[in-house]
Amino acid sequence: CDWSSDVCSSDLGLTLSPYMVYSLNEAWLLDASFGVGRSNLDSQVGSVTGSPSTDRFFSSVGLTHMRMFGKATLTGKASFNYFNDDIKAYQSSDLIVNDPLQTKLSQLKIGGQVSYDAKPFVPFFGVYQYFNNLNSSAPARSRSRAQRMFASSSNCALSSTIAVTDLPASAASISA
């Protein structure tokens, strides 16, 4: 809670999300995931409280190609992601009925990365292009700046990570 701005929210929910990977051959992988969930939200703005519930669904399917060159690996990946979040209508403590809100995001992600096995480290560098289509049932005036900005957008992301191998299971990777 951010008590300095008089705004507080919390939620309790559950999401189930199985993930599957199928090796088509030595170089190609197909992966898929889907999930469903539900949350009960509690929010407070000033003295007004509300408790909407939300249902969510998401799915993802991806195709990955890997090619090894000695200790270096070149990986290409394309994936399609779909997210749907529904907030049910609810009445807040000031007796205002809040309309339901549905937000949908369809996203295409294309890119790749190069990594090098320098045991015990595996640094890699990746570049991905994202194509987003965001739809919301909220009136335009009440949509967040981010929702308006990314309603239909394309952006690029760079990532770099050093993964640590040959260490105990409790070891983690370092991301930048």
Six-digit token pair at 86? 């529904």
Longest dimension (CA), the chain: 67
Cβ–Cβ < 8 Å for 112, 156? no
**Mean per-residue pLDDT, 65-77:** 96
Class of residue 172 by CB neighbours under 10 A (exposed 0-12, middle 13-18, buried 19+): exposed
| Total Cβ atoms within 10 A of residue 72 | 13
Q: What is the rounded CA–CA span in Å between residue 91 and residue 139?
A: 18
Pick the closest to residue 150 from 84, 88, 103, 86 (CA basis).
103
Averaging pLDDT over each range in 2-16, 57-71, 140-154, which range is the top one?
57-71
Task: Give the pLDDT of residue 135.
Answer: 87
**Mean per-residue pLDDT, 157-175:** 47
Task: Give the pLDDT of residue 9.
Answer: 63
| Total Cβ atoms within 10 A of residue 115 | 20
**Looking up tokens 């539900």, which residue turns up?**
38
In the predicted structure, residue 124 carries a pLDDT above the cut 50? yes
| Percent of the chain's residues with pLDDT above 90 | 38
**Mean per-residue pLDDT, 54-58:** 92
Q: What is the rounded CA–CA span in Å between residue 27 and residue 1?
A: 47
Task: Give the pLDDT of residue 12.
Answer: 74
**Looking up tokens 């299971």, which residue turns up?**
169
The 10s digit of each residue's pLDDT in 129-158 is 888 888 888 655 454 544 544 455 556 555
Per-residue pLDDT band at 169 (split at 50, 70, 90): very low
Asked whether the bond before 100 is cis by omega within 30 degrees of 0, the reply is no
**Mean per-residue pLDDT, 13-39:** 93
In the predicted structure, residue 38 carries a pLDDT above the cut 50? yes
DSSP category for residue 149: H
Q: What is the rounded CA–CA span in Å between residue 84 and residue 38?
A: 12
Pick the closest to residue 97 from 108, 89, 105, 88 (CA basis).
89
Task: Give the pLDDT of residue 2.
Answer: 54
pTM of the model: 0.69
Length of the chain in residues, anyone?
Answer: 176
Six-digit token pair at 131? 């194509």
Task: Give the pLDDT of residue 13.
Answer: 81
